[in-house]
Structure 1
Amino acid sequence: MNKFRQTSPARTFKKVYKSYRSYKKYLAEDFNNRCGYTDCPDFWFGGKNNFHIDHFKPFSKNPELATEYSNLVYCCSYVNILKSDDEGDYLDPCNIDFNDHFDRARNGTILPKNSSAQAKYMHSKLNLGLSRYSLIWKLDEINDKLIKLQKEIANPKNAKIKNDLRIVHSELAEEFINYLQYLKVNQ
């Protein structure tokens, strides 16, 4: 099993706006440019413009919270649409460590922990087990490895193994391209 996320989001922005949409830039920063519920980077969804702002407690039922920063969650459109106005038993990504409630399988699939009824509810309601989230997790892992290898290839201390590092880098790059092609075909 893998950790669900490496860095938990934290709401730090203090300024008050009249429109919740004005917070998007700050939410993106506070949520590490990742979906609060899936931990997928906004990059793989086309960036900030394609991410949504979820009202943790739906503003249709809690209008007083419509522009309350502490009630806003930066998230992918898929999750936001599925969550909609549901007032179910959700975990706030900034107030609860999701690593205590969710795991990642070796392939990146999001799994609720058996001990967390809230995680099981969210997993079902938000379709957190969809392959898109495991694919994005894998792509992110490969991307991180490619960057690390690139740095090691450039490191003069690794001159003797430079060719070996280039081969591994090439193999990872090939796998990366295969995943990207898979995504394009299955859109």
Structure 2
Amino acid sequence: MKKIALAFLCFLATDSMAQVSQDSTISAKEEIEIIEKDTLFIDMAKYKLTIPNNWKIKAGCTEEQCTANSPQDTLGGFDTYIESINITVNKLSSSSYTAEKYANFSIGYLPKVVKGFKVLEKKRLNSYSYRVTYTGSKNNIEQTWRQYYHVRSSKVYIITFSAQARKYDHYQPIMEPYLASFKFK
């Protein structure tokens, strides 16, 4: 059944690529309406996340690892970076591991893989969720990432949005309702 649902999602993702993209100057109220009208989901047994309907879910999406990529944009000329939302699920070594503790572990590790790593924001959202926004260079591209860490049943669910650093301020308010749509079942 999961394979059928995944195949259907992949079909929807491919089908939605042919649609015209929304105007990039959308107000917050219009964003909420868009998320209600134009929906595409990463829908797994343990969680669900809404993504923009013109994004494409990469083949091989599983409950532990799933990526959705944006279509190319025309902000500032030819698009050389594809924005993405990535979901990664990791088992925790202890049931007492918190989202904040895992986020701090990541903050300690990320400078090893992100050149010029700099934390822009750290925020505890509730007892099981934490958010970190950081910037740096990876693969010679200046990027900004926003990560949500959600802990449940000795697992951490990491939702990561990545954008080219110079485009992040444009995308962040558009993407935030989608990132916040993550729900456990």
TM-score (norm 2): 0.26
Which one has a bigger Cα radius of gyration? 1
TM-score (norm 1): 0.26
